[in-house]
Structure 1
Amino acid sequence: MLGWLAAAAAPIVIHLWMRQTHRETAWAAVRFLKAALERQARKLRLQHWILLAMRTLLLVLVALAAAKPLLESGLLGSGAPTHRVLVVDASLSMNAVDAEGTSALDRAKRLAIKLVENARAGDTYSLVVMGADAGSPLGRPTSDAAAAKRAIEAITPSQGVADLAQALTTTQRLVDSAGEIGATQRQEVVLLSDLGANSWGPLAADEGTTAAEAYKKLDEAATISALDVGGSPLPSVAITSAGLVNGFPTLAAPIEVLAEAHVYDGQEVERVVELLVDDAVVAERRVTLSGDKPTPIDFVHKIDQPGARSIAIRIANEAGAEDRLADDNTRYVAVTLRPRVRVLCVAGAPGAADYLADALDPTGEGAFEPVIVSDADLPTVDLSEYVCVFLSNVRELSGPEAERLHDYVERGGGVAWLLGDRVSPQRYNETLGPRRETLGATPRPDVRLVSVDVKPQAAEGEEEVASDGTLMPGWLSPSVAAPSYRVDPLEYKHPIVRPFQGQERAGLLNIPVMRHLPIELPKSSSATVAMALENGDPLLVTGEIGRGRVAVLTTAATLSSLDPATGQAWTVLPAWPSFLPIVRGLVTYLANDAGAQSLLVGQPIDGRVASGSAAQIAVEGPTGGEVGRVAPDEAGSWSFASTKLAGVYRYGPAGDVPDSAVAVNVDSAESDPMTVAVELLPDSLTVRRAVGDAASESAAAAAPTPIHRWLLYGALALALMEPAVACLFGRGSG
């Protein structure tokens, strides 16, 4: 942009050209005017030079402003003291190394220290860290340069994600508090980051994001600049996802782990991928990773030891295999292996749960272990031993029983209501249904409610439910005889019915249903209908409550539910070929992959226990050993927030062997080396490249001040003054 300074010569060239076109011609009459013109020559010459200077300076200011010049701190002389807030990005992407093995975080720390060393007497410092260890290590602003340098050197690599909005808010608080320690007048913010799109994208987006609003507020109080310390030329490979194909691993069968790997430089590379169980390599294979799309990788392995186990998929560290970021080469899966998966089947009448038990375990040696109890025995059963609970043709539940089931679901359990001729719609609505105000007018229990419009099912993992403290997603009406000989699978969008897609002979589409209990969902409900009858009434409704899930089958799961008018069974579904996959699909959905929980670094591990069952919960970290203890509150809820490292965390009552586990992984979005487009960032943010030789780093550390806005103000003033001055001179010369 400085090349445009040559345009400033245009007024001078035009002036000289116009002078060359002047020719003298002898004329007697002019001699009488010469004396008068000579008297005004000096005045006219001065006016011409003033206009020429204004026009030339106008072009110079515009060219300089377009180049966005920076005023080095050394030129400030003995100006006002400066409060400088150093915001250091310590997110996962900052761990990327260059060919010399230097990470972006190391470069950022080195530049931050130079900023402190090059400061003037009277300057103060603050430090903000973005990442899993987000916060302000120095606390209040300080003038102690040695303390500031020690705090910068103590910044450690993180595996978390930078929260730019939170960092800007913290910076704003430090700027506001700077006046409390001295006469600091000038506020300066320097962000040292790799400008990763994952962190900086919200600031480049349209106005309205939290980051954009925080920046706008901070920009009114301080000068903001950014030093780009990223830019590694090495390829980047990562394991971006991993999980179990079967969400219910048992000792009876091998587990299958499916992962995806990605390479971000667009070229194919070969890598060795390993399967680890409890940190021991048990299998490996060489795979070719494509840059066009994720590469699937699967392992099958049998584990013989029960309990909480740690499984990892890892790209091996081979000699000569360059990779800019190593922390994303491993993905973890936590599993809790049991001899068999226990499912509680509550029978509201003798034989009401027999068909359920047969569908879960036809041979008596399968992965599922159904346990049948009567509804009278339900209060004495320890629900924590079961992945889900089926209630078949249960007439009603008492208030304490409903509260106990609700607590079980909120802690991650699953409950399925399979209706029948013994079910009391009125009692269900009173004890289990949503609050009446959620439906508007109070429905009459003796009048059938208008059936709901079936809404499309969201993608897997996106189902929602209104958390209104109840167990049933809607209100029941008395049973109706509305024979339906066709089931609408609603485009097979729900995970329970998705396996039937393309399997028309499996019997799902032509299940005879002669009687059912209509259910109406509140208008604000986000429960979903998985299957519907011919008349549009829901047949299977699912939803979420807390960390758990619920389901309602509006017809019976037993042939013993009879129509009092005809003596026929409500449905032949229990004897239909599709009953077994529907029941097993319900278990898979309700358990919500309970055997393989996963979080991201920085997210808390939450849990609930029965009140009074444990004084404290002990948590073991990925590297082994206890990393903390938390005490449940009065409701039995607890939360452990210190998940700063990726790996498998095990937890359980203090003093006992941990019986549960959760995987904590890095955010795969941090693996993508794509940076934010600088032109999309706010105009007031000055961005400089700060990598290379020592000279460029020293210049970057000189805390430059942008002055392009003042240059533009000057150019605007000259643009307004020049016509006025020219007009004034023209009138005077007339």
Structure 2
Amino acid sequence: MTFLEPLLLWGLPLALLPVIIHLFNRLRHRSINWAAMMFLLSATRKSTRYAKLRQWLILLFRVLALLVLIVAISRPLAGGWIGWMLHPAPDAIIMVLDRSASMEARLPGGSASKRAEAARLLAQTAKGYEETSRFILFDTALRTPQEIGDPLSLPQLSVAAATDTAADLPATLQAVLDWVTRTRPGNLEIWLASDLQRSNWQPDSDRWLAITTQLAGLPQNVRVRLLAMDQPPAGESSSIAITEVHRRYRSEPPELDLVINIERNNPAQAVLPLTVANDGNRAQVDLQVQGQSFRYRHKMVIESATAAGWGRVEIPSDDNPRDNSAYFVFGPPVVLKTAVISTDPAAGRVLQLSAAPIPGDTNRVADLLSVEQAESAPLADYSLVLWNAPLPKGEAAKKLRQFAEGGGSVGIFAPGDPGQFEGLAYGETQTAETDKSWALSRWEEKEGLLAKTDEGLSLPLNELFFTRRQPLSGEKNVLAAFEDGGPFLVRRVTGRGEIVFCASSPSPEWSNLREGLVLVPLVQRLLENGGRRFTQAGQMVCGQLGEAASGETWISVDGYKDPRTQAGVYRSGNRLVAVNRPAAEDEPEILDSGKARSLFGRVRVQLFAEPKQGESKLQSELWRAFLFAMLLFLLAEAILALPPKPEPAAPRLAREGGPA
């Protein structure tokens, strides 16, 4: 037997209060021997034995009544056959409903979505427990408890409606655990309905171990029932997402550049109509798509170089209408600033011109700073830091690391002296033999910093030559390498930003990088990546706006929508924000139901399709039985405490000779 409130068992000694009171009462009376009483005591000895027995029974029942009362308020649980006999239904049923965008896929052969069907099945199953159990709903979008009176109303509730959010299952289960710890319900079942999308379950997260440990450590019995809505789509399905929005502010007329990703479950070549709506205008483009992933750049003319607005891209509706559209916003150009720190004046000037190559361009600004100035400069205002000096240490290194973690880009060029920063180390400087140099033989040009241009042209990395270099060592992602296999350009992701290490320098004594054919595109791409936290500030994923609102009032400009759960365009004052579903919702990988069950460790997990097993191991609360026993003890004590009935008086004898 276990207890939900074990600390209250410290009150068990209070059950001895009737005994203590009885002993104190005996001390109040003193026995005095009186000769005349000896005859009376002898005459009533038999009745005295009965009176003592009754008093001892009254005392026993009072002690037992207090004892079972203390045990009852400690909320005992019993397992085995007792738990099976006393387990008609769980005390609380927690329903966890996956409301992610992927749950809006229609079931094969029907028109209902996976979410709607899951809500219906949960409500139908809960109907059988309506008279005996409490129902608490946790949805993955809001993760707040909602008690439900009538389980059949579940499909109609707003907290069970469709959303454009992702589902963080570990975070939702942690919210459930927090509620259980706070409210301490009795016997408990968790009904979990999900499509088992891997990105939502995050099976590699360390949080699962903490969750299963807490679940297994609860004093009450917990069982998880899994409703797996993992049916594959019946027909072809496509999703669309906008990954980047760029203004071509120097083009004439001004243009907006949209980078669009399309994911498909059928890799065969097909024609996919794309509709782009902006400012009341609609344009359609027929895309020749092939493969499961397809990237498309769409250029559209905007009113002026400083215009602001919003729009939407759409593809034809399919099995999941939630992933067939995406939103974008645009505003006036944002100034992108670069901080150049260099101890070599010539190399510093080359880097400065690479970051701001057009004089008079107010949207590209490059500041040349000394190492001392960089330590006090407000790096949060910059998009890119180019470092061509001895590697930072101490507070300077910490500041540069925080800048990258916050979303900035850092480019580090060979410092000349050996050193280490963020797990990458520069070795001793190597100098090529006379009339010889190193060249590059391998680089990544499909995507990233060295990718081909929009016109499909490759960057001329094969024309670069290097007379000096510093070997790079450490865990790294190599973007380009020398002919002898040594890394030339290495990228490290840090937080929301990136750090790129170059094995050479733009100084004339080191290489011909100063010519700019490779350096300028490389630096400009780094600048754009680091500037996304400014230029893409109007692009958010669903669920993020509610966290970042901080008391702001957001109003939908394309209908009545909830900014916490619905994709769309929202306005707060003069600020426009496009909210789209998370990119992870387009990932097709589904978790195997067996793998999902194994994530719960020692906690019993049962699929809804399986018969109930292990009922003999169920636990049930016994406090009602203990309260009933207390009432019986008090009733017995009251009956014994009743005074005995008086004996009827004997009739008086008539005087002698008179009438009787």
Taking structure 2 as the reference length, the TM-score comes to 0.59
Indicate which of 564, 570, 581 corresponds to 1:665.
581
Looking at structure 2, the residues matched to 509 and 230 of structure 1 have their Cα atoms a distance apart, in angstroms, of 49
Against the structure 1 CA distance between its residues 486 and 594, is the aligned structure 2 distance closer, same or farther, given a 3 Å change threshold? farther
Name the amino acid aligned to 1:601: C
Against the structure 1 CA distance between its residues 388 and 163, is the aligned structure 2 distance closer, same or farther, given a 3 Å change threshold? closer
Residue 251 of structure 1 contacts residue 340 of structure 1 at CA under 8 Å; is this kept in 2? no
1:301 aligned residue: 300
**Paired residue secondary structure (1:409):** helix
2:494 aligned residue: 545
1:601 aligned residue: 542
- 1:300 deviates by 0.9
Looking at structure 1, the residues matched to 376 and 129 of structure 2 have their Cα atoms a distance apart, in angstroms, of 71
Residue 530 of structure 1 contacts residue 542 of structure 1 at CA under 8 Å; is this kept in 2? yes
Looking at structure 2, the residues matched to 532 and 294 of structure 1 have their Cα atoms a distance apart, in angstroms, of 28
**Paired residue secondary structure (1:300):** strand
Looking at structure 2, the residues matched to 215 and 396 of structure 1 have their Cα atoms a distance apart, in angstroms, of 45
Post-superposition CA distance 1:139-174 (Å, at most 9, x none): xxxxx8459968983524232234445555666677
Against the structure 1 CA distance between its residues 250 and 264, is the aligned structure 2 distance closer, same or farther, given a 3 Å change threshold? same
Name the amino acid aligned to 1:338: P
Looking at structure 1, the residues matched to 468 and 498 of structure 2 have their Cα atoms a distance apart, in angstroms, of 25
2:647 aligned residue: none
2:386 aligned residue: 390
Against the structure 1 CA distance between its residues 388 and 380, is the aligned structure 2 distance closer, same or farther, given a 3 Å change threshold? same
- 1:410 deviates by 3.3
Against the structure 1 CA distance between its residues 236 and 325, is the aligned structure 2 distance closer, same or farther, given a 3 Å change threshold? farther
Looking at structure 1, the residues matched to 200 and 517 of structure 2 have their Cα atoms a distance apart, in angstroms, of 53
Residue 550 of structure 1 contacts residue 590 of structure 1 at CA under 8 Å; is this kept in 2? no
**Paired residue secondary structure (1:486):** coil
- 1:255 deviates by 2.8
Matched, 1:124 2:133: yes
**Paired residue secondary structure (2:259):** strand
2:312 aligned residue: 312
1:485 aligned residue: 437
Name the amino acid aligned to 1:387: S
1:256 aligned residue: 257
**Paired residue secondary structure (1:155):** helix
Looking at structure 2, the residues matched to 341 and 200 of structure 1 have their Cα atoms a distance apart, in angstroms, of 35
Residue 347 of structure 2 contacts residue 506 of structure 2 at CA under 8 Å; is this kept in 1? yes
Matched, 1:644 2:565: yes
Matched, 1:153 2:157: yes
Residue 542 of structure 2 contacts residue 567 of structure 2 at CA under 8 Å; is this kept in 1? yes
**Paired residue secondary structure (2:499):** strand
Looking at structure 2, the residues matched to 504 and 104 of structure 1 have their Cα atoms a distance apart, in angstroms, of 45
1:558 aligned residue: 507
User: When the two structures are aligned, how many residues end up with a matched partner?
Assistant: 510
- 1:671 deviates by 8.2
Against the structure 1 CA distance between its residues 581 and 77, is the aligned structure 2 distance closer, same or farther, given a 3 Å change threshold? closer
Name the amino acid aligned to 1:551: V
Against the structure 1 CA distance between its residues 270 and 589, is the aligned structure 2 distance closer, same or farther, given a 3 Å change threshold? closer
2:462 aligned residue: 509
Give matches, 1:35-434, under 5 Å.
80-83=88-91, 84-96=93-105, 103-119=113-129, 121=131, 123-138=132-147, 145=149, 153-157=157-161, 158-166=163-171, 187-192=188-193, 195-198=195-198, 217=216, 221-222=221-222, 224-226=224-226, 237-244=237-244, 249-250=248-249, 252=251, 254-262=255-263, 273-277=274-278, 280-285=279-284, 287=286, 293-294=292-293, 297-303=296-302, 304-306=304-306, 310-315=310-315, 323-333=318-328, 337-338=332-333, 341-346=336-341, 348=343, 350-359=345-354, 364=359, 369-375=364-370, 383-384=379-380, 386-392=382-388, 394=389, 405-419=400-414, 425=417, 429=419, 433-434=420-421
Q: Which runs of 5+ in 1 are unaligned?
A: 1-75, 139-143, 317-321, 435-464, 467-472, 560-568, 608-615, 626-641, 689-704, 712-734
Looking at structure 1, the residues matched to 375 and 202 of structure 2 have their Cα atoms a distance apart, in angstroms, of 51
- 1:285 deviates by 0.9
Name the amino acid aligned to 1:623: S
- 1:329 deviates by 1.7
Give matches, 1:545-624, under 5 Å.
545-559=494-508, 569-575=509-515, 577-588=517-528, 591=531, 595-596=535-536, 600-602=541-543, 621=554, 623=556
Looking at structure 2, the residues matched to 357 and 265 of structure 1 have their Cα atoms a distance apart, in angstroms, of 47
Residue 429 of structure 2 contacts residue 468 of structure 2 at CA under 8 Å; is this kept in 1? no
Name the amino acid aligned to 1:474: A
1:11 aligned residue: none
Residue 97 of structure 2 contacts residue 140 of structure 2 at CA under 8 Å; is this kept in 1? no
Looking at structure 2, the residues matched to 395 and 199 of structure 1 have their Cα atoms a distance apart, in angstroms, of 41
- 1:485 deviates by 1.5
Against the structure 1 CA distance between its residues 572 and 305, is the aligned structure 2 distance closer, same or farther, given a 3 Å change threshold? closer
Looking at structure 1, the residues matched to 363 and 210 of structure 2 have their Cα atoms a distance apart, in angstroms, of 49
Residue 236 of structure 1 contacts residue 325 of structure 1 at CA under 8 Å; is this kept in 2? no
Looking at structure 1, the residues matched to 235 and 524 of structure 2 have their Cα atoms a distance apart, in angstroms, of 44
